[in-house]
Amino acid sequence: MELIYSKGKSGRRGSSLPKLDVPDANSIPSSLRRKKAAQMPEVSELEAVRHFTLLSRKNMGVDSNFYPLGSCTMKYNPKVNEKIAAMPGFADLHPLLPQLRRGGALTQGALAVIYETERMLSELLGFSQTTMQPLAGAHGELTGVMLIAAYHKAHGDTKRKIMLIPDAAHGTNPASAAMAGFDTVTIPSDPDGNVDLDALKKELNENVAGIMLTCPNTLGMFDKNVKEICELIHKAGALAYCDGANFNAIIGRLRPGDIGFDVMHVNLHKTFSTPHGAGGPGSGPVGVCEKLVPYLPVSCVAKRSDGTYALEYHHKESIGYIAPFYGNFGIILRAYAYLLTLGKEGLVRVSENAVLNANYIRAKLIPYYDQQHPGYCMHECVFSATRQSEKGVHALDIAKALIDRGIHPPTIYFPLIVKEALMIEPTETESIEDINKFIQVMIDIAKLADENPEAIKQCPLTTPIKRLDETQAARKLDLASLE
């Protein structure tokens, strides 16, 4: 499809702007003016809308396709939440308003949203307080490990420079730890996919700052030793971080703060139904136990005794500003609406059905695909295309075959510790009918892989393009159409 820059023609436009109603004068000398106008598109409004509509039809999304992308929790994004985020009372609100004198009184509704969401998240996670500031999951991780660093620093424990990270962790964990100044040490998994306790014990010493544990883990399993791991970590003077990317599996059923974790992030764009937006914006609030509260980023929203809300900045030990204002407010707002809609009973049903759906798929596909770590799973099940790869059909080929059959592929080749991994997460918002269709397609693909592997290796055939030359993309960089 043509680029937008090749459409339309010189002099055409898609916008109408107010007429100039003041003298046509300004203070910019000609030496500071740009010589040639920026070459933006010159299209009518219809051409603009049609271009975007046609582009959108080349995408798979949750609204159009089953999307069992493991670890990403591609649940339905309720439409009412989009309408709420667009309400002018929220969308048009300047973030500096509450920082002006008498401005706080004019933003009480927005401050209430942040405060009430924070309170509900703290309750669900089992923590004292939650910062709503982090702008994404990885940003939440970074915030969390920075809090751990601040805690040790405040206690004069400056030699604690090591962050322990299990080998099944998300790749963001080691990268986040490095950005907070830590060296990372990898802890292997045992044959069941749990953290190898003996290996962990060997690494524990007075240089360890903490552990970053994904719970449930990236194999879709709940590590039965989590409580013991937290105890071992605490005994060594370190802190336990929970990567809450998989919180959808346990929401309403188990609170990480209750089993020994000290700090944790959640992804509002996963568990709390806000859209992924094709790669952001997300939001990654971080909950902490009492002893980490003094280090939380500024600002926090507090409720005064008269029932009004106010921004608080004066935390002497705070790590400072991780975001320009109060977090991704538009995303927090959607999550707030979601929490209010589901309520206590609904949130408990979320994890129950997410776990039920995943186990149902697991049970139905066991005869057709190998599992490196068998057993009951949480909200996602991880298979291995090892049987199929003997015929030359790899996880990537299965992914492409699914695309041809109208299904977005599961996460592939992750976790790294599983060969030919296929990580399937249906979420609670899919019906049994659609889940059954997916199961049947997976069975059909397994059979085809056995009978006619070549047919799968040619997939996809129904998409706007076939498989792309990624080597050329990296070697002969073409990143922009310049004027």
Partner 1 sequence: MPYIPNTDADRKEMLEAIECKSIDELWQKAQIRTPPPALENIPAGMSEYEVTRHLNSLASQNATHLVNFVGSGYYDHLIPAAVGTMVGRSEFYTAYTPYQPEASQGTLQAIYEYQSAICRLTSMPMSNASLYDGGTALFEAIMMAVRITNRRQAVISGAVSPIFREMIRCYSSNLDIELIVVPVKSSKTDSSQGALVDAVTDKTACVLVQYPNVFGTVEEWSDTVEKIHAKGAIAVCSVYPIALAMLKTPGEMGFDIVTGEGQSLGIPLSFGGPYLGFMAVKEKLVRKMPGRIVGRTVDLDGKPGFVLTLQAREQHIRRENAMSNICSNESLCALTALAYLTCIGKEGLLQVANLCAAKANFARDLLLQIKGIEPVGEKAFFNEFVIKLPGDSSEIVGNMIDKGFAAGFPLGRYYSDRKNQLLVAVTEKRTREEIKAFANAMEAVLWS
Binding characters for partner 1, 458-477, by CB under 8 A (x = yes): --x--xxxxxxxx-xxx-xx
**Per CB under 8 A, 231 contacts partner 1:** no
Terminal C-alpha separation, the chain: 19
DSSP symbol at 295: G
Radius of gyration (C-alpha) of the chain in whole angstroms: 25
Near partner 1 by CB under 8 A: residue from 118, 409, 445, 446: 409
**Per CB under 8 A, 172 contacts partner 1:** yes
Which helix (H) or strand (E) covers residue 1, if one does? none
Near partner 1 by CB under 8 A: residue from 144, 287, 327, 415: 327
* β-strands 162-166, 208-214 pairing: parallel
**Per CB under 8 A, 325 contacts partner 1:** yes
Q: Are 422 and 395 a contacting pair, CB within 8 Å? A: yes
Task: Select from 109-117, 288-296, 383-391, 444-452 the region that touches partner 1 (CB under 8 A).
Answer: 109-117
Residue among 434, 429, 443 nearest 363 (CA): 443
**Per CB under 8 A, 479 contacts partner 1:** yes
Task: Select from 199-207, 231-239, 287-295, 351-359 the region that touches partner 1 (CB under 8 A).
Answer: 351-359
Cα 102 to chain centroid, rounded: 36
Distance CA 306, CA 59 (A): 50
Distance CA 16, CA 332 (A): 33
* β-strands 239-244, 208-214 pairing: parallel
With left for phi above 0 and alpha for psi between -120 and 50, is residue 280 left, alpha or beta?
left
Segment 187-216, which members bind partner 1 (CB under 8 A)? Answer: none
Task: Select from 232-240, 286-294, 382-390, 422-430 the region that touches partner 1 (CB under 8 A).
Answer: 422-430
Segment 260-299, which members bind partner 1 (CB under 8 A)? Answer: 273, 275-283, 297
**Per CB under 8 A, 455 contacts partner 1:** no
Segment 124-143, which members bind partner 1 (CB under 8 A)? Answer: 124, 126, 135-139, 141-142
Closest distance of CB 465 from partner 1, Å:
4
Near partner 1 by CB under 8 A: residue from 66, 127, 222, 261: 222
Contacts of 320 (CB under 8 A, 6+ apart): 297, 298
Closest distance of CB 270 from partner 1, Å:
10
Closest to partner 1 by CB, 417 vs 450, is 417
Distance CA 425, CA 428 (A): 9
Segment 50-79, which members bind partner 1 (CB under 8 A)? Answer: 51-53, 55-65, 67, 69, 72, 74-78
